[in-house]
Amino acid sequence: MTDHDRTWRIETLAVHAGQEPDELTGAVAPPIYQTSTYRQDAVGVPRDGWEYARTQNPTRSRLERAVAALEGGSHGLAFASGSATTAVIAELAAPGDEVIVSDDVYGGTFRLFERVLRAKGVDARYVDLTGDPAGALGAALTERTRLVWVETPSNPWLKLIDLAAVAGALRDHRGSGGERPVLVADNTFASPLGQRPLALGADIAYHSATKYLAGHSDTVNGVLATSREDLHERLAFLQNAIGAVPGPFDCFLVLRGLRTLALRVERHTANALAVARALAARPDVAVVRYPGLAEGPHAHPQAALAARQMALPGGMVSFLPAARAGRSPEERARRFCEATRVFTLAESLGGVESLCEVPAAMTHGSVAGSALEVPASLVRLSVGIEHADDLVADVAQALDRA
């Protein structure tokens, strides 16, 4: 059954792709196939290819089709977490290969490259790709480069990377095995509503689906999309061979979240802009970072790229409080996060509820002491879908008390 039409807009795809009514009953909510195996019609003859649930599960297949459609790719693959997805993609690199990574990434991504892959002989190099990506890549690419891993907007600094420029700079390069390096874009912060990396030249669009795709802070999940048959074949093999697959109920939760993704990201964006503007207006805030803040002293240095590359700048805001009343910025960052009432102090992001955290002490502990170290006074906000006025008031009262 065709579940969607490629001409549909992303809001329509979010509701319908992979979400066709159940063939058996017409149930409009996706059935959860909570099974580990399938009866075979004869020895070695699985019905319609359904053989074993690590390899294939109908609920997971729906999610994989949905993600492929939302990212404008031909194939999707789902995993037990974003980190499991990272680990599987990283298997594309063999000992002796190199990986170029943008220089501000989720702490767990850094940890995997540094503490798992380096020991296996895969070297990661961290490069600032914000200013002149072609020049920076020209200096960093070698005949051993297998992967280029970029996060845009990045976690936690919300740096942006021009994906089309990076893809262009890789086009004629021959890296490991004489092949063009594979460009992976971590699209977790933007969501496909914000930008679609495959259309900009990335080979793989990646998500911690734990975040905006699922959207309700109730599951851990990871997905990728690609239009390259060779990559899909290899990654599907690795998905089954490594076995870090999500359970069907978790796939159902992400599918349910996807149906409201478009509405949620619009609201996240509107609220984040309101919060960023409120922070920017305060004398006791030293730095605000929000890709949608285009004017004033706290305008994002890459606001023009955001306007060009992103349909919506999304719901993530970072800021550094200034010192005040004898309290250091670091102390104020901690006090702020402990004083909010609407924002919940917690790791993760992308759920309907607003969250706040101090990355240096929480999500990014693994980059401490490295070139990617994050200041102890940086606060990261995941702005939820509550009323903007309540969020702005909460930020104001918490800063007043910090």
**What is the contact surface with ligand PLP in residues (CB under 6 A)?**
81-83, 106, 108-109, 151, 155, 186, 188-189, 208, 210, 220, 222
Q: Which structure tokens are listed for 232?
A: 């899909």
Q: From the CB of 224, what's the least distance to ligand PLP, in Å?
A: 11
Residues recognised as catalytic? 54, 106, 186, 211
Let me know: does 300 contact 128? Beta carbons within 8 Å.
no
Nearer Cβ to ligand PLP (35/348) = 348
Amino acid (one-letter) located at 151 = E
180 close to 202: Cβ distance less than 8 angstroms: no
* Strand arrangement, sheet containing 355-357: 285-289, 316-321, 379-382, 355-357, 344-345
DSSP state, 131?
A: S
User: C-beta of 51: minimal distance to ligand PLP in Å?
Assistant: 27
Distance in Å, CB of 152 to ligand PLP, minimum: 10
Q: Find out whether 210 and 172 touch, Cβ atoms under 8 Å.
A: no
DSSP string, 204-217: EEEEETTTTTT-SS
* 64 vs 186 by CB, closer to ligand PLP: 186
Q: How far is the CB of 86 from ligand PLP (least distance, A)?
A: 6
**Residue 77 or residue 392: which is nearer to ligand PLP going by CB?**
77
Helices assigned H by DSSP within 10-76 = 10-16, 58-70
Q: Which residue is nearest to ligand PLP (CB)?
A: 82
* Gap between the Cα atoms of 389 and 395, Å rounded: 10
Smallest separation (angstroms) from ligand PLP to the CB of 101: 12
Nearer to ligand PLP, 109 or 130 (CB): 109
Question: Given the structure tokens 């805030």, which residue do they identify?
Answer: 285
| Nearer to ligand PLP among residue 83 and residue 302 (C-beta) | 83
Residue 208 tokens read as 């911690």
